[in-house]
Amino acid sequence: MQEIIKKNVIVCGTTFGQYYLKAIKSRPDVFCLKGILAGGSERSQKTAKEYETTLYTSVSELPEHIDFACVVIRSDGCGGNGTKIAVELMKRGISVIAEQPIHKAFLKDSYKAAVANKVCYQTGNFYACLPAVKCFLSAAKKMNETMTPIYIRASFSTQVSFPAMELLSEATGVREKIKVETLSTDNHPFQILAGKLGNIPMVMEFQNELCPSDPDAFMQLLHAFTLFYPSGRLELTDTMGSVVYRPRIYVPKDKYNGDLAGMEQQTEVVLFKKENRALIDEVEIEWTNAIAENLIHFSKRIEQFQETMKQDHRGAKEMLWADKWEELHEIFGFSRLMDCSDYQHFSVEDLKKE
């Protein structure tokens, strides 16, 4: 891997921002934590003390020589002021990677600020850096070189719908709008869309539900995608799952005369096998590693920009993803508020009992 120049970094926000802090501290070879920007709450003070760094409460207080900031605060239009803070940081000459989702209008403002102040900007998507997702995207791109998907099955929850649009676009290579043929809006917990992505038939299962008291909990899943090809199907079982390719079932007409051509293929090829681990370990280990990798990619973009002083095509792609995300929510409407009291824990050990 190309050597990265060590970057001075600050983290804005101490809720999900704590995972960014862990990611930065996990890679002291490429990152140096220079502080936390937050509101000054007891949690923020405790977090700054835990990470032995300075807590700042305004952009004007920040020291010089900060290379980039991780703005892990809800963006403007999504219940926070993350976009405003990002623009202030860029006016100080600090590049910014911001947590999604971000409405297209605010994304435009952010990229305009990046151009005006000669810095880099992007939204973060650590999901794309998780091992299973990387494997799925890589396999899909290889298959797309020789054939086109003939059917798509996509399932995801509203909390991760912004990165879902990126992953779906990148896996299929399709940039066109979603064409709705039928839409069932009363199949809770999932709303079902049948239509097309570009010219590819698609069924989408969208868990468009939120628990008011705990909006990031009670998801049935993050993402699950299946791409059907003329040769078979490629499946991401879950964002934190495995990746499987299953060849299309083919039985030669002359099988009973000894012609077995095509039947030597394995019925299932596991391209990436997920380890069994507790959710807390998944979040603490895999998510932290994926965030660190996402930040390393961003560091490389900064270095490339500083060498050429030319913006790359990332902004155009992000505008597309944001457009698709807004299109998705125009189709499905506001999230349904769900009753969180119906959650039931079930011991997996019970499944193994005779």
For residue 243, is pLDDT > 50?
yes
For residue 305, is pLDDT > 70?
yes
Is 269 found in the same domain as 157? yes
In a domain, residue 302? The reply is no
Is 183 found in the same domain as 157? yes
In a domain, residue 300? The reply is no
At CA 264, angle to CA 259 and CA 268, rounded to 5?
A: 140
The model carries a pTM of 0.92
Q: What is the pLDDT of residues 262-290, one digit of tens each?
A: 667 788 999 999 988 888 899 999 999 99
For residue 259, is pLDDT > 70?
no
Is 210 found in the same domain as 132? yes
Query: What pairing do the DSSP bridges indicate for beta strands 269-272 and 336-337?
Result: unpaired
In a domain, residue 324? The reply is no
**Predicted pLDDT of residue 39:** 92
Is 58 found in the same domain as 203? no
In a domain, residue 134? The reply is yes
CA distances (Å), 53 to each of 32, 108, 176, 209, in order?
10, 32, 46, 38
Is 253 found in the same domain as 114? no
Is 165 found in the same domain as 100? no
**Predicted pLDDT of residue 262:** 63
Which range (47-51, 192-196, 255-259, 330-334) has the least confidence?
255-259
For residue 1, is pLDDT > 60?
no
Domain extent, residue 40, equals 7-124
Under the banding of pLDDT at 50, 70 and 90, the label for residue 309 is confident
Q: How many separate domains does the chain show?
A: 2
In a domain, residue 19? The reply is yes
Is 135 found in the same domain as 84? no
Q: Which residue has the higher pLDDT, 2 or 207?
A: 207
Share of the chain above pLDDT 90, in %: 77
For residue 23, is pLDDT > 50?
yes
Query: What pairing do the DSSP bridges indicate for beta strands 151-157 and 200-207?
Result: parallel
Is 194 found in the same domain as 98? no
Q: Which two tokens stand for residue 354?
A: 């005779």
For residue 135, is pLDDT > 60?
yes
The residue from 264, 281, 298 where one domain ends is: 281
For residue 320, is pLDDT > 50?
yes
Q: Which residue has the higher pLDDT, 133 or 310?
A: 133
**Predicted pLDDT of residue 256:** 64
In a domain, residue 299? The reply is no
Is 274 found in the same domain as 200? yes
User: How much is the average pLDDT of 234-241?
Assistant: 96
Q: Residue 22 is part of a domain; what is its CATH number?
A: 3.40.50.720
Would you call 54 exposed, middle or buried from its count of C-beta atoms within 10 A (0-12, 13-18, 19+)?
middle
Angle of helix 17-26 relative to helix 288-308, nearest 10 degrees, comes to 70
Is 140 found in the same domain as 120? no
In a domain, residue 287? The reply is no
Q: Residue 207 is part of a domain; what is its CATH number?
A: 3.30.360.10
User: How much is the average pLDDT of 162-183?
Assistant: 94
Q: What is the pLDDT of residues 65-104, one digit of tens each?
A: 999 999 999 998 888 899 999 999 999 999 999 999 999 9
Is 58 found in the same domain as 137? no
Q: Which residue has the higher pLDDT, 139 or 258?
A: 139
For residue 342, is pLDDT > 90?
no
For residue 133, is pLDDT > 70?
yes
For residue 42, is pLDDT > 80?
yes
The residue from 281, 299, 315 where one domain ends is: 281
Is 132 found in the same domain as 120? no
Would you call 154 exposed, middle or buried from its count of C-beta atoms within 10 A (0-12, 13-18, 19+)?
buried
The residue from 102, 124, 146 where one domain ends is: 124
User: How much is the average pLDDT of 47-54?
Assistant: 96
In a domain, residue 311? The reply is no
